[in-house]
Structure 1
Amino acid sequence: MEKFTRGLLCAALATTLVACSNSTTAPEAHASKTIMLADFNSPTDGLQISTEGGAEFTRLESGELTVTFSPVEKFSKLILQPSTPWDLSGRPELNLAMDVQNMSEESIQLYIGFKNAQGRATNHSVNVAAGSTKTVYVLLAGHAAKVDLGFKHSRMPAWESDDALAFFRYGDDLLDLSALSEISLSVRGNLTPKHIRVDNIRARTNPDYPSDFHKGYVDAWGQNAKVDFPGKIQSDEQLKAAADAELAALSKSGLMPDRSRFGGWKDGPRLEATGYFRREKVDGKWWLVDPDGYLFFSHGLANVRLANLSTTTGIDFKDDSVRYVDPDAVTPEDSMGMVKVSDAVRATRYVASELRHNAFTWLPGYDDPLADHYSYRRSVFLGPVKSGETYSFYRANLERRYGETEPESYMRTWEQVTLDRFNDWGFTSMGNWVDPAFYTNEQVPYFANGWIIGNFKTLTSEVSYWADMPDAFDPEFVRRAQVTIDVIAEEIQSSPWCVGIFVDNEKSWGLREGTISQRYGLILDALSKTTADSPAKAAFVTALKQKYPTIEALNEAWGTELSGWAALSESQTFDAFPEAFVADLSMMLEMLSDQYFRVVHDALEKTLPNHLYMGVRMASWGMPDETIKASVKYSDVLSFNVYEEGLQPKLWSFLDEIDLPAVIGEFHIGATSDTGLYHPGLVQAANQQDRAQMYLAYMESILANKNLVGAHWFQYVDSPISGRAFDGENYNVGFVSATDIPYPDMVKATKAFNASVYPKRYKLGRK
């Protein structure tokens, strides 16, 4: 094959690419606007190429590089290192581009990583559709890279282009580019081999673009005001007509014919009926069992609620009373429902962020009927405002769709429509974070949830993300855990429709693999405190005294020179980590994990003995062996959030050794090309059709694992295009859009999958 139609692309690389842009820079500057970093024309170009995780590469005579990424390892990577680091500093507007051909039969989510000589790194990702060739680029410097729109992990394209903008994932958002020492291309968690051809890795000066490119991008329905896309709403009448058509269709639907009243498999074997959900191993495969004794596979959508679907408007209030936080609250800020703001507080209104406020082409006046959908966030995790007014376009669209015959009657309609959708689409349950309004429903089983928050001691580490970890040895943590469980018990009233209980989410235990500080940072933090200030430290010192007969024995193991046990009880930091010391760090992490799970288990056993304890939904990056070992002792079902293309057999083989049922608490796939949204989510598809196929592939990987008893897609509704208020997530991850319109490809795929899920899972692996 020609080198990506080489005559069109490369003959005048340094000038043609720039001349086709809308740049107004003087022509004599064009030669400096594009810098070729790697065109793979010569094996002697000073570029060192290596691989990790089973990736393989070939230099073609035509001057491209072909790469095959392995589906066996979690990370499969190609690494490019120049003999002398590239200096890309001094360019105020800069992006890095490359030409990628996807030679696979499936789309590829390609991660583009950078490292500099200082050891700092950053990662972005982009999707290239199957069989297509695309120029992809990473925004490295400039106004568009620096402006904080309040988005999480994403930027808005600042100029029109057919090139694909990669999305920031993790690391240093704005990397020091004075000594770029490595560029990597990788995949992660893929289920099949991926094949690409890459060429012309180059640094380009950004074209000119307006500084207010981000102004007025949200329309009156919470959609992208600047682009058209399938299903875009243009009027309230159109929105109402879509609702009426769906209501008529749902009125003729119901449970799939092979389902019991609880969503179990009524055509399959019937086991003991206990009146509540339970677990049982059948023919070597774990299952849940519904209250009537039928085999049950938990598949559905998580986050069926409106609590985090609002977005900040850029308005705040000078009256501090609106930011009061009840110290006895059991609901964290990101899960709060509607917070009404009084007229007195609104009288102190001011624009806290012009950037945020100017994002909207319309917001209702406070005397508008749709002003009921204003709320407030007392604290914000990410973005240009730290607190402020919010607006829920989704909630407003529900009122537009269903009308209001009495106060908030549209909410009651939405609740019933949601239940009808779940049954029509074949889902068997609602996942974590379902609105408590659904707890009394007797049509779709659900999982209840709670958070242990309060004024207890905490521990932190460099991998702490959402919040610091609770010190589970603190008596206040034990008290607050019981308070949380008591609230859950009051809400669910021992309903047999409640499958089980999730408590907390994605706690930052430490990395499964990494440096000592990344794996055991919580323990090192505890050791840096005194026993008087840290209940965990006190527990660890007690355990160490039981293990080591003398302080001298501990010193020999740890390579330390502590003068006595009293010295260990004081603040201590460490620079060296002998093998015996690392083993003790591991022991203490298991102690901390054991204490946490025991406290939660005991509170649940005391208060909700008939319901399954579903664990803490560990993030796949934050599930150390020590924590998993502790969770197994106390959880009825393990839970993990896995944002990859599916479950790779090698990575998840540890479940066979544990021999407990497990559920995937979160996964999703999104796209931007046909949604108007600016971010696809954590796993990216090429478009809605590809998204549906990737969803099916993920679920097939779940069915193939004998320990997996379910998987919950995150989430029911797309995030706001301008980012949800607390953390700025603006992802296409919903089964329905911001206008509450289902995505047809996703609905079609899930109905097909769910129609045969029970007989398929039952037969898999049977002899």
Structure 2
Amino acid sequence: MNRTFEATGYFRLERENERWWLVDPKGNQFVTIGVNHADETNLKYDHNFDIWKTKYGSRENWIKGLSEDLKSWGFNTIGWTGDYISGDWGVALDWFGDPINLGHSQSWSAADYKHADMPYCLQIRVSEFEDWNGHPVYPDVFSHEFEMYCDYLARSICADHANSKNLIGYFLVDIPAWIRHASGSDFKQLEGLNEQERSSKLYEVAAKYYETITASIRKYDTNHLILGDRFNGNKGIPEEVLKAMKPYVDVLSVQYFTSPDEAGYQQMKEDLARWQAIADKPVVIADIGNWCKTHMNPNRVSDIHDQAGRADDYIASLNTVLHEPWFLGWHWCAHLENKARGWGIKDPYDEPYADFVDPVKDFNKGVYQKIEDRVKF
């Protein structure tokens, strides 16, 4: 890591010769290489609870073990910690069909992050209108009640983290349904409108949403980045929403799961570049992952046939965007294979998938040199 900037004590952004950089509290260039969905209860099923009791025995010990895992594999960030927990072996996630209801685990506490002692991101769930939510709730963003609720969220979350040296910033809603939700639900101001009318009104709704929640965050924390909603890149992002967020949000955060081929990788790069140009923000791929069938989950099939193939896809997909001037990093899905989500870096018995981990570890640890080799001073 050769590039340095002024040390401010907190994570921040720098833009130098049209290249965006994420900078750590000491002033060093930082590529966020994170892991999402780290949840202790994934080791507390009937088939693996004894492993948790023998190997860890407490949440604090498990968190410290997680940090050791991530660092040894070349990851440097704890991403979004909520995990999908309401499914079972063989159930696939799908946000394109009928409304679904994907229950998620609780987020970590401030004390948990202190035990981990590594960079992290927090989520502020502004409202419950996620694509994965079978019972979405759309707030009236123009109401006094929404303003009061945003203030509550900010003071209940941000006050405990405002002085943290490890916090990178705040995500908002996980894959929010700015495009019409599969259930038919929508913001009150957009109900009954045709597509053209809805598009015209959407900017106004989104602008008020971002203005209100970011003002509340900044009231309690002026030190950290606002990472914005974790958009569902596979569904698309309305241009009106990208323009509405521009004055308020620091980073464009996008979940994107590619097909495991060159066409899929290029499509991801083109989509991210197009959205980035509209928002004029640097980009974090806030959730990206892949899967193949496993011993415990033979129904979780894809065009990737084994763990070595997963590693190949990891490296190829990220190499496609690694050198883009707007790219800040990525957060991988996920830590440990559970019954609901069905894939991970570790198997259900807390053992790393070596054919995946070994190539990924080498790639992660070489990222800074790869970037520096391509960037002109």
Report TM bin, short chain. 0.7 to 0.9
Q: Which of 122, 125, 131 is residue 451 of structure 1 equivalent to?
A: 125
Structure 2 CA distance for partners of 1:607 and 1:625, relative to 1, 3 Å: same
Aligned 8 A contact 1:306 1:395 in 2? no
More strand as a share of residues = 1
Task: Deviation per CA, 1:586-614: give whole Å up to 9, x if none.
Answer: 22101111111111110111111101000
**Partner residue of 1:439 out of 96, 110, 113:** 113
* 1:336 aligned residue: none
**Structure 1 stretches of at least 4 aligned residues deviating more than 6 Å after TM superposition:** none
Q: What residue in structure 2 maps to residue 703 of structure 1? A: 322
Structure 2 residue 198 is the aligned partner of structure 1 residue 585: yes
**AA partner of residue 306 (structure 1):** E
Say whether 1:479 aligns with 2:145: no
Partner of 1:526: 189
Counterpart check, 1:594 vs 2:207: yes
What is the aligned counterpart of 2:60 among 409, 412, 430?
Answer: 412
1:756 aligns with 2:366: yes
Find the counterpart in structure 2 of residue 337 from structure 1.
none
Taking a change above 3 Å as real, the CA distance of residues 466 and 447 of structure 1, as seen in their structure-2 partners, is farther
Matches of 1:301 and 1:442 in 2, distance apart? Answer: 13
TM alignment of 1:418-437, pairs within 5 A: 418-433=66-81, 435-436=108-109, 437=111
Equivalent in 158, 173, 179 of residue 489 of structure 1: 158
Q: CA deviation at 1:680?
A: 3.2
Q: Is the 8 A contact 1:597 1:630 kept in 2?
A: yes
Counterparts of 1:494-513 in structure 2 under 5 Å? 494-510=163-179
Deviations along 1:211-252, whole A, 9 cap, x unmatched? xxxxxxxxxxxxxxxxxxxxxxxxxxxxxxxxxxxxxxxxxx
Cα-to-partner distance string for 1:337-379 (whole Å, 9 max, x where unaligned): xxxxxxxxxxxxxxxxxxxxxxxxxxxxxxxxxxxx5xxxxxx
Q: CA deviation at 1:706?
A: 1.7
Give the number of aligned pairs.
342
Instruction: Kindly indicate whether the alpha-carbon contact (under 8 Å) linking 1:450 and 1:484 is maintained by their aligned counterparts in 2.
Output: yes
Matching of residues 102-121 of structure 1 within 5 Å: none
- Aligned residue identity for 2:324: N
Relative to structure 1, is the Cα distance of residues 509 and 453 closer, same or farther in structure 2, using a 3 angstrom cutoff? closer
Report which structure shows greater RCO (CA 8 Å, sep ≥6).
Answer: 2
- Provide the rounded CA distance (Å) in 1 between the counterparts of 2:306 and 2:347: 15
Asked if the contact 1:300/1:713 (under 8 Å) is kept, the reply is yes
> Pairwise CA RMSD of aligned residues?
2.9
For 1:248, the equivalent position in structure 2 comes to none
Structure 2 counterpart SS, 1:276: coil
1:718 to 326, 337, 356: 337
Match of 1:652 in 2: 272
- Give the distance between the partners of 2:116 and 2:185, measured in 1 at CA: 45
Instruction: Indicate which of 623, 627, 640 corresponds to 2:241.
Output: 627
Match of 1:611 among 224, 245, 263: 224
Contact conserved, 1:615 with 1:637, CA < 8 A, in 2? yes
List alignment gaps of at least 5 residues for structure 1. 1-264, 311-372, 374-390, 403-408, 512-516, 529-572, 724-728
Aligned-pair distance for 1:490? 4.0
One-letter amino acid matched to 1:669: N
For residues 370-415 of structure 1, give each alpha carbon's deviation from its aligned partner in whole angstroms, at most 9, with x where no partner exists.
Answer: xxx5xxxxxxxxxxxxxxxxx565554311334xxxxxx4432221
**Aligned position for 1:399:** 53
**1:287 aligns to what?**
21
Q: Output the amino acid matched with 2:151.
A: Q
Q: Partner residue of 1:736? A: 346
TM-score (norm 2): 0.82
Structure 2: state its 5+ residue gaps.
82-106, 260-264
Matched, 1:661 2:282: yes
SS of the equivalent of 2:321 reads helix
Listed one character per residue, the Cα deviations across residues 504-540 of structure 1 (whole Å, up to 9, x for unaligned) are 21111106xxxxx98x9736x5355xxxxxxxxxxxx
On the 8 A contact 2:284/2:328 being kept in 1, the answer is yes
Q: Deviations over 1:653-674 (max 9, x none)?
A: 32235331110111111110x4
CA–CA distance in structure 1, aligned partners of residues 80 and 135 of structure 2: 17
How has the CA–CA distance of structure 1 residues 465 and 700 changed in structure 2, closer, same or farther, with 3 Å as cutoff? farther
Higher helix proportion (structure 1 or 2): 2
Match of 1:297 among 20, 27, 31: 31
Show CA shifts across 1:257-296 (max 9, x none): xxxxxxxx3xx12111110000012332211000010000
The alpha-carbon distance between structure 1 residues 396 and 510, as it changes in their structure 2 partners (threshold 3 A), is farther
Q: Post-superposition shift, 1:493?
A: 5.1
Percent identical residues: 25
Could you tell me whether the CA contact under 8 Å between 2:8 and 2:26 is conserved in 1?
A: yes
Give 3-state SS (helix, strand or coil) of 2:164's partner: coil
> CA–CA distance in 1 between the matches of 2:132 and 2:333?
23
